[in-house]
Amino acid sequence: MPRGDSGMKIQEIKEEDLNPEEFIEQKVWEISSTVGDHEAINALSGGVDSSVVTALGHKALGDRLKTYFIDNGLMRDGEPERVASLFEGLGVHVEVVDAKERFFEALRGVRDPEDKREAITRAFYRDVFGDLVRRSGIRYLLQGTNYTDVEETVAGIKRQHNVLEQLGIDTERRYGYKVLEPLIQLRKPAIRKLARALGLPEEIWGRPPFPGPALAARVIGEATPERIEIVRRATRIVEEELSGLRPFQCFAILHEDRVTGMRAGRREYGWQIEVRCWDSEDATTASPTRLPYETLLRLADRITGEVPGVVSVTYNITKKPPSTIEAV
Amino acid sequence: MPRGDSGMKIQEIKEEDLNPEEFIEQKVWEISSTVGDHEAINALSGGVDSSVVTALGHKALGDRLKTYFIDNGLMRDGEPERVASLFEGLGVHVEVVDAKERFFEALRGVRDPEDKREAITRAFYRDVFGDLVRRSGIRYLLQGTNYTDVEETVAGIKRQHNVLEQLGIDTERRYGYKVLEPLIQLRKPAIRKLARALGLPEEIWGRPPFPGPALAARVIGEATPERIEIVRRATRIVEEELSGLRPFQCFAILHEDRVTGMRAGRREYGWQIEVRCWDSEDATTASPTRLPYETLLRLADRITGEVPGVVSVTYNITKKPPSTIEAV
């Protein structure tokens, strides 16, 4: 069983055991009493975890919660605008920070998946968020770390970007702020239940998971602005074609390997996009969705037709395990 | 229209216009009269083209045709033995030449697909075959170049390993032998018709096409002995599972990109195999075969279970064009 920041064991609360109203009341109290008269800061990505944390924090602290959307240049098409306007509609002011250049600078020349994660984590916590916190003087960070993040990181399956204290990283000493993690006992289904109870719209609680390193996790090799743009376009097509089927998760991956294709009767050495679409309950195991061939062929037609340089599309047919949901 | 070695236009003979008995008689006469009392040499790969050439040459020259199977280390599991014993059974002696080391030496550090083709072509024609010819003093080479090879090479789609004279390469001056190409006016369906008429078994004329660079064309990046062995094992599984469906062609490709997987609950950074299975008439256009998901998932289970290091399997869903049949 994973241990929390004070070395205490973290006890999972399963979806069926979660009383959302009591849990919300408890967490609002914890946040209020920890932060006291001070302000807290949090980063909203639009994912269900950070959205629930934003709603809880706003409930506890009102305008004393400063919510930032860090535009790292690795988001999906139109995502920064969509998320900010959705929360504005709920009465929560979201400050969008353009940090694209700093992230791409941090990612320059980085090819190894773990190094990419690390570069993004560092750019986020130390540089961009560190700056925000230092300038603001705010000493409390609310964060949506969940039970699966901790578990997978501790087990060595995947180093989640938001797991810090569980790895012995003292954020107060290292980054100058204290991290509050109200969702650390919950997995995704419980967090979704909470999102509904908090009155968040389906766009939030029905939203498939999206990785911390965002589209950088969907590019094999270096995540340059050009390569992120290719996978962003392919991702939009995949979501347009598959979201209606409500899979657990579906996305596009840009490979670094190049393959031969042909256009107008001539050889073209181009890119390959891999599509993954998963059936799963909670991401611990997963199977490829049995998409009809009409859908697969239309995906390939659209991606090769609409995304410049892409000549080949594959569909992943492996279960998790031995695959993982994401490729990197 | 492509031009032949003397600059003459090559006229295709379509399958429906091919009278196999007349064609065989004509080619046997051409080979006999060109070679005269000399000997000829040819390389048999087991593909339908080189098999038909071997049968034609043997008909024309009997034991004066010296047939070699060059084991380049890039063949499928058990292929050298299978092909040699099949032709021995037909009364044609086949000399198997172990040239594995020379090919892997030529391929060392070579990553670009065109450079790999070129390395294999050079190792084959200049080194291994050149040696055989020089030692034997034989001045006539029979070769299975077909109409599609010439067409694709001239159009710049794919540089076929066996197209030399059409690119202005004077083999007599450069390699010391004259090349005879009895199949240059035919595409695959016509060549298969010829194979049946020559009494070759279905294993030959029903055999799906296999690329000149063999398994080196099925490895993205460097074709080391280890990587060839991985794709050889995956290829055997693909053929075991899919050959019964009699697709136009089906095969495995080993990618160079690595992806995350998990084994026994722990993260494993491993290899990905791409499976391609094509419906096609003559390879100029093709569509992915609509394999049942049971078959796809069994393929992925077997490949990740039986081929060490492989954690992920994809299925190609792109049509040709814009894809090509092979990846490199």
φ and ψ at residue A200, rounded to 5 degrees: -75, 150
pLDDT of residue A265: 84
Confidence of residue B106 (pLDDT cuts 50, 70, 90): very high
Best B222, B304, B323, B326 member to test A by mutation, with max A CBs in 10 Å, is: B323
CB contact under 8 A, A320 and B266: no
Distance from CA of B61 to the nearest CA of A (A): 39
pLDDT of residue B297: 98
pLDDT of residue B167: 47
Q: What is the pTM of this model?
A: 0.81
> Are residues A108 and A81 in contact, defined by beta-carbon separation less than 8 angstroms?
no
CB contact under 8 A, B327 and A259: yes
Distance from CA of A276 to the nearest CA of B (A): 9
Listed in sequence order, the residues at least 6 apart from B145 whose beta carbon sits closer than 8 Å to its beta carbon are B49, B160, B162, B163, B179, B181, B183, B184
Judge whether residue B203 has pLDDT over 80: yes
| ipTM field | 0.80
Best A112, A218, A242, A257 member to test B by mutation, with max B CBs in 10 Å, is: A257
Instruction: Tell me the residues of chain A between 295 and 324 that have a Cβ less than 8 Å away from chain B.
Output: 296-297, 299-301, 304, 311-324
Q: What is the DSSP letter of A186?
A: -
Mean pLDDT value of segment B66-89: 93
Judge whether residue B89 has pLDDT over 60: yes
Of A242 and B134, more confident? A242
Question: Which residue type does B273 have?
Answer: I
Distance from CA of B259 to the nearest CA of A (A): 5
Judge whether residue B5 has pLDDT over 70: no
Pseudo-torsion of CA B295, B296, B302, B304, nearest 10°?
A: -170
Q: Is B193 an 8 Å CB contact of chain A?
A: no
A215 closest CA partner among A188, A254, A242: A254
Judge whether residue B322 has pLDDT over 90: yes
Mean pLDDT value of segment B51-55: 97
Question: Which residue type does A235 have?
Answer: T
Q: Which residue of A has its CA nearest to B292?
A: A290
Confidence of residue B3 (pLDDT cuts 50, 70, 90): low
Instruction: Tell me the residues of chain B between 104 and 133 that have a Cβ less than 8 Å away from chain A.
Output: 113
Lowest mean pLDDT among A105-109, A127-131, B165-169: B165-169
CB contact under 8 A, A266 and B156: yes
Mean pLDDT value of segment B41-63: 94
Q: In what order do the strands lie in the sheet with B178-180?
A: B94-98, B65-71, B40-43, B140-142, B178-180
Checking A132-138 for CB contacts under 8 A at 24+ apart, the result is A132/A41, A132/A68, A132/A97, A133/A41, A133/A175, A133/A176, A133/A177, A134/A176, A136/A39, A136/A41, A136/A66, A138/A38, A138/A39, A138/A40, A138/A41, A138/A66, A138/A177
Dihedral sign from CA coordinates of A115, A121, A127, A128: positive
CB contact under 8 A, B262 and A328: no
Of B163 and A143, more confident? A143
Judge whether residue A6 has pLDDT over 50: no
Of B83 and A177, more confident? B83
pLDDT of residue B6: 46
Q: What mean pLDDT is reported for chain B?
A: 89
Q: What percent of chain A has pLDDT over 90?
A: 68
pLDDT of residue A162: 54
Mean pLDDT value of segment B157-170: 54
Three-state SS for B24-88 is HHHHHHHHHHHHCCCCEEEECCCCHHHHHHHHHHHHHHHHHEEEEEEECCCCCCCHHHHHHHHHH
Distance from CA of A232 to the nearest CA of B (A): 19
pLDDT of residue B162: 54
Q: Is A1 an 8 Å CB contact of chain B?
A: no
Confidence of residue B124 (pLDDT cuts 50, 70, 90): confident
pLDDT of residue B258: 93
Listed in sequence order, the residues at least 6 apart from B161 whose beta carbon sits closer than 8 Å to its beta carbon are B117, B120, B121, B124, B212, B213
> Are residues A192 and A55 in contact, defined by beta-carbon separation less than 8 angstroms?
no
Judge whether residue A192 has pLDDT over 90: yes
CB contact under 8 A, A261 and B324: yes
Mean pLDDT value of segment A312-318: 98
Judge whether residue B130 has pLDDT over 90: no
Q: Across the A/B interface, how many CB contacts are shorter than 8 Å?
A: 155
State how far the Cα of B195 lies from the Cα of B190, in Å rounded to an integer: 9
Judge whether residue B204 has pLDDT over 70: yes
Q: What share of chain B is helix, strand, coil (3-state, %, to 5)?
A: 45, 20, 35
* Residues of chain B positioned with their CB less than 8 A from the CB of A263: 321-322
pLDDT, tens digit (0-9, with 9 covering 90-100), for B240-269: 999 889 899 999 999 999 999 998 888 888
CB contact under 8 A, B328 and A220: no
Mean pLDDT value of segment A259-272: 91
Judge whether residue B153 has pLDDT over 60: yes
Q: Which residue of B has its CA nearest to A271?
A: B323
> Are residues B195 and B186 in contact, defined by beta-carbon separation less than 8 angstroms?
no
CB atoms near residue A169 (< 10 Å): 14
